[in-house]
Amino acid sequence: MSQSASASTDQTSTGDGQGRDFVVVANRLPVDRAVDENGSSSWHRSPGGLVSALAPVMASNDGAWVGWAGSPDEQLEPFDHDVFHLVPVELSAREVERYYEGFSNGTLWPLYHDVIAPPSYHRTWWNAYKDVNRRFAEAAATAASEGATVWVQDYQLQLVPRMLRQMRPDLTIGFFDHIPFPPVEIFAQLPWRRSVLEGLTGADLVGFQRPGDAQNFQNCVRRFLGVSFRRGEAEITAQTTSTAFDFTGEDAADDPSWTLKAGPYPISIDVEGIKGMAARKETKERARQIRRELGDPETVFLGVDRLDYTKGIRHRIKAYGELLADGDLDVDHDILVQVASPSRERVESYKVLREQVEGMVGHLNGQYDTMGHTAIRYLHHGYPFEEMVALYLATDVMLVTSLRDGMNLVAKEFVAAKADGSGRLVLSEFTGAADQLKQAILVNPHDIDDLKLLMLAAKAMPDDEARKRMRAMRRQVLTHDVDAWQEAFLNDLAALRRRNDDAQES
Say if CB 425 and CB 400 are below 8 A apart. yes
Say if CB 280 and CB 273 are below 8 A apart. no
Say if CB 309 and CB 402 are below 8 A apart. no
Residue closer to ligand F6P by CB (options 28, 424) is 28
Helices (H), 63-122: 93-95, 109-112
Residue type, 223: R
Strand 84-88 to 63-68 pairing: parallel
The footprint of ligand F6P on residues 308-347 (CB under 6 A) is 343-344
Provide the minimum distance between the beta carbon of 343 and ligand F6P in the complex, in angstroms, as a whole number: 6
Residue closer to ligand F6P by CB (options 28, 480) is 28
Q: Is 404 in the site for ligand F6P (CB under 6 A)?
A: no
Provide the minimum distance between the beta carbon of 382 and ligand F6P in the complex, in angstroms, as a whole number: 10
How far apart CA 432 and CA 115 sit, in angstroms, is 17
Say if CB 334 and CB 297 are below 8 A apart. yes
Binding residue (CB under 6 A) for ligand F6P from 135, 162, 178, 469 = 178
Beta strands across the sheet bearing 424-428: 376-379, 334-341, 299-306, 397-400, 424-428, 441-443
In angstroms, how far is CA 459 from the centroid of its own chain?
Answer: 30
Provide the minimum distance between the beta carbon of 70 and ligand F6P in the complex, in angstroms, as a whole number: 8
How far apart CA 120 and CA 103 sit, in angstroms, is 8
Residue closer to ligand F6P by CB (options 176, 229) is 176
Provide the minimum distance between the beta carbon of 390 and ligand F6P in the complex, in angstroms, as a whole number: 21
Provide the minimum distance between the beta carbon of 108 and ligand F6P in the complex, in angstroms, as a whole number: 11
Provide the minimum distance between the beta carbon of 269 and ligand F6P in the complex, in angstroms, as a whole number: 13
Binding residue (CB under 6 A) for ligand F6P from 97, 154, 198, 396 = 154
Provide the minimum distance between the beta carbon of 92 and ligand F6P in the complex, in angstroms, as a whole number: 17
Binding residue (CB under 6 A) for ligand F6P from 53, 163, 179, 329 = 179
How far apart CA 403 and CA 412 sit, in angstroms, is 17
Q: Which residues contact 146 (CB under 8 A, 6 or more apart)?
A: 1, 11, 19, 170
How far apart CA 388 and CA 278 sit, in angstroms, is 10
Residue nearest to ligand F6P (CB): 178
Residue closer to ligand F6P by CB (options 150, 454) is 150
Q: Is 97 in the site for ligand F6P (CB under 6 A)?
A: no
Q: Is 101 in the site for ligand F6P (CB under 6 A)?
A: no
Binding residue (CB under 6 A) for ligand F6P from 6, 22, 24, 28 = 28
Where along the sequence are the contacts to ligand F6P (CB under 6 A)?
27-28, 154, 178-179, 343-344, 406
